[in-house]
Structure 1
Amino acid sequence: MIVDEFWEPAENISAEIKIKRSIFIAHISVARTEEDARQFVTHISQKHKQATHNCWAYRIGVDPPHEYSSDDGEPNGTAGKPILGAIQRFDVTNTVLVVTRYFGGIKLGVRGLIEAYGEAASNVLENAGKIRGRLGSRCNIQIDYPSYSAFLYQLKGLGVEEGSCNVTFEEDVRVSCFVPLSLWGRVEAFLCESQNRSFIKGWSRE
């Protein structure tokens, strides 16, 4: 089964919490490539270069996602993994999350660090919210005017959302629509058959 639906952060924001005088500032951003994620980590690390630590994790893509995390000098497994765990529990991808820590003079211990970084990450994830996305491609179709309404009706019946279609009226009708990855097999078969029957004049996939 092809998985094409995913969730990603709705906003790029920061959120701060304070635990035993240490300040934890969590920064979240959408990143659709690992390079984008690492650039965001570098940006936050430079912005907060006076901080004690800038720990981070990212999760990119779907089926399977690419995941990575870093403790940035904190004890092994106490920062990067809790941050990544929060991202996984929130069920988002295309996500990079950096938690900046300014040490307040009181040591938290291993368990305390795990809980603090996890709480900071969960807090910013909740504040950012999430939106649905789908993998797929745009399809451009040329249709004669008499076939236009019937064609769109059949395309909608295959699962293509009418709201994803942009229509322009020229010498013929031009339809540009988004086709989710899981629908491409049957949509492609329908388009080929329609062109063979001269129901449409032509089509292409971006």
Structure 2
Amino acid sequence: MEAYRAVYRGGDGRYEEKKSVFLSSVRPVKTEEEAAALIESVRKKYWDARHTCWAYSVGTKHPVLRASDDGEPQGTAGRPILDVLDGAGLRNAVITVTRYFGGILLGTGGLVRAYTAAASDGLKNSILADKIYGCRVMLVTDYNGVGKLQYFLAQNKIPVLGAEYAENVRTEVILPAGQEKSLTAELAELTAGRGRAEIISYTWYMQADGKIIPEE
């Protein structure tokens, strides 16, 4: 899988129905163990609440999808939360919804609507971004070719991670994996064969808030 939708910055949400309060939280995770630990931390935070329901998607190409009603009637909480998460195309993410019971029964339809609304509100307050499997490349040119290279990178919206000006100009860029060969060919043409491209590594990265965030 070359790209997927991910949580760049998690958010929290709230929904109230007939005095019951539903508090949601959306967070990125990398493993099922991390998801379980996060769910447990929410339970401890809201230790006096009646239910903390949740859903998560872990993995990229074939994600593991799990959900829990945590004591609510079957299918009224975990599944609606999972539908919100999966409907947004999210991977490696968890959504929890904690319910403080207000003393009035909502019925199965009311519960489905409430958990859906709370999860959706948490998602609305989060920042999502595409996570792309990319290639970090160092482009090495002499000073005669740097102007053409900079113009080419800007025109093609190829993110620049940094530049070093010494005997040669070394420009580090990142782009979707598979495009490095065409970039190498373009560099050779721009610099009449004097430039070279050195592959640094392959990694996942995000582009959000005008910034490039390579995965550590």
Residue 174 of structure 2 is aligned with which of 157, 160, 178?
Answer: 178
Across the aligned residues of Structure 1 and Structure 2, the Cα RMSD in angstroms comes to 2.9
Give the match for residue 204 of structure 1: 199
3-state SS, counterpart of residue 179 of structure 2? helix
3-state SS, counterpart of residue 56 of structure 2? strand
Query: Following TM superposition, by how much is the alpha carbon of 1:203 offset from its aligned partner in structure 2, in angstroms?
Result: 0.7
**Percent of aligned pairs with the same residue?**
30
Q: 1:192 to 1:95 in 2, by over 3 A?
A: same
Pairs within 5 Å for 1:152-171: 152-153=150-151, 159=156, 161-171=157-167
Query: Following TM superposition, by how much is the alpha carbon of 1:103 offset from its aligned partner in structure 2, in angstroms?
Result: 1.6
Query: Following TM superposition, by how much is the alpha carbon of 1:3 offset from its aligned partner in structure 2, in angstroms?
Result: 4.0
Unaligned runs of 5+ in 1: none
- Higher relative strand content: 2
Q: 1:57 to 1:185 in 2, by over 3 A?
A: farther
**2: CA distance between counterparts of 1:76 and 1:93?**
24
Query: Following TM superposition, by how much is the alpha carbon of 1:200 offset from its aligned partner in structure 2, in angstroms?
Result: 2.7
What amino acid is aligned across from residue 165 of structure 2 in structure 1?
A: F
So what's the TM-score if we normalise by structure 1? 0.79
Give the match for residue 124 of structure 1: 122
Query: Following TM superposition, by how much is the alpha carbon of 1:204 offset from its aligned partner in structure 2, in angstroms?
Result: 2.4
Query: Following TM superposition, by how much is the alpha carbon of 1:153 offset from its aligned partner in structure 2, in angstroms?
Result: 5.0
3-state SS, counterpart of residue 146 of structure 1? coil
What amino acid is aligned across from residue 199 of structure 2 in structure 1?
A: S
So what's the TM-score if we normalise by structure 2? 0.75
- Higher relative helix content: 1
Give the match for residue 211 of structure 2: none
Give the match for residue 87 of structure 1: 85
What amino acid is aligned across from residue 200 of structure 1 in structure 2?
A: G
Residue 18 of structure 2 is aligned to residue 24 of structure 1: no
What amino acid is aligned across from residue 111 of structure 2 in structure 1?
A: L
Unaligned runs of 5+ in 2: 202-216
3-state SS, counterpart of residue 174 of structure 2? strand
Give the match for residue 135 of structure 2: 137
Query: Following TM superposition, by how much is the alpha carbon of 1:80 offset from its aligned partner in structure 2, in angstroms?
Result: 1.1
Residue 70 of structure 2 is aligned to residue 75 of structure 1: no
**2: CA distance between counterparts of 1:61 and 1:190?**
34
Query: Following TM superposition, by how much is the alpha carbon of 1:92 offset from its aligned partner in structure 2, in angstroms?
Result: 3.3
**1: CA distance between counterparts of 2:178 and 2:64?**
21
3-state SS, counterpart of residue 125 of structure 1? helix
